[in-house]
Chain A
Amino acid sequence: EDKVVQSPLSLVVHEGDTVTLNCSYEVTNFRSLLWYKQEKKAPTFLFMLTSSGIEKKSGRLSSILDKKELSSILNITATQTGDSAIYLCAVIGPYKYIFGTGTRLKVLA
């Protein structure tokens, strides 16, 4: 059965800290991996990683795909209170979009 597992489930850090969120997957015919940020209800898109684009960066956020290890990490440097959210990892297989359980990040001032 296809599955996506995220760790840790929750994390509390102080402003300025660096965090690393993990996502591992077992999905038949992997196509791409996506990261979303969910602050209230609607998840918003962060990154898409594919075989041809295994590393992405935007400001303080960066993500790497390790196709050998079937995993990805999302790094956030110099965290701010506005980074507090649930971070969702999703993997696309043919006709399928599978989400992990998410990591709940809380950044304290």
Chain B
Amino acid sequence: EAGVAQSPRYKIIEKRQSVAFWCNPISGHATLYWYQQILGQGPKLLIQFQNNGVVDDSQLPKDRFSAERLKGVDSTLKIQPAKLEDSAVYLCASSLDPQGVVYEKLFFGSGTQLSVL
């Protein structure tokens, strides 16, 4: 079975520029997560989708970050404008969770390493 696909693998931008990340979850997985992992820290949830609806975006900095999951399949995460402190690995994960209740292990993509200069 194909895993969670993410692109790009690496991105270097200057502050105030914009950037977008793409994620395609495992086929049939209803729940999709975007995590931010700053060096030396655990993953921090940015946004959780159940199909194409948002379940939790309480920690998403909405003044600069946006995310969408049109058609309930793949998803994009955008940062505009980027700040130095946005340098991190952005991980996408998915799980089956057909009822919208979290109960299963997550499957992670290989992540995007973002460096903001």
Bind each other:
yes
Write the residues of chain A forming the contact surface with B, with a CB cutoff of 8 angstroms: 4, 6, 31-32, 34, 40-45, 48, 88, 90, 92-102
Nearest first, the 3 closest Cβ-Cβ pairs linking A and B are A41-B111, A99-B42, A42-B108
Tell me if B25 counts as interface (CB < 8 A to partner A): no
Give 5 A-B pairs besides A43-B91, A43-B106, A95-B100 with Cβ atoms closer than 8 angstroms.
A31-B103, A41-B111, A94-B102, A99-B44, A101-B40
Query: Chain B 16-47, CB within 8 Å of chain A: the 1/0 string?
Result: 00000000000000000101000011111100
> How far is B99's CA from A94's CA once the two chains are assembled, in angstroms?
11
Note all chain B residues with C-beta closer than 8 A to A34.
105
Q: Is residue B56 within 8 Å, beta carbon to beta carbon, of the partner chain?
A: yes
Question: Which chain A positions have C-beta within 8 A of B56?
Answer: 95-96
Q: How far is the CA of A97 from the CA of B95 in the complex (A)?
A: 11
Of the candidates A42, A92, A95, the one whose C-beta lies within 8 Å of that of B111 is A42
Q: 8 Å CB contacts to A: which residues of B90-117?
A: 91, 100-103, 105-111, 113
- Do A97 and B89 have beta carbons less than 8 Å apart? no
Complex interface: chain A residues within 8 A of B70 (CB): none
Q: How far is the CA of A43 from the CA of B89 in the complex (A)?
A: 12
- Give 25 A-B contacts (CB < 8 Å), ordered by A residue: A4-B42, A6-B42, A31-B103, A32-B103, A34-B105, A40-B110, A42-B91, A42-B108, A42-B109, A42-B110, A43-B108, A44-B108, A45-B107, A88-B43, A90-B106, A92-B102, A95-B48, A97-B33, A97-B45, A97-B48, A97-B102, A97-B106, A99-B42, A100-B42, A102-B42
A92 to B69, CA, bound (A): 23
Nearest-Cβ distance from residue A94 to partner chain B, whole angstroms: 6
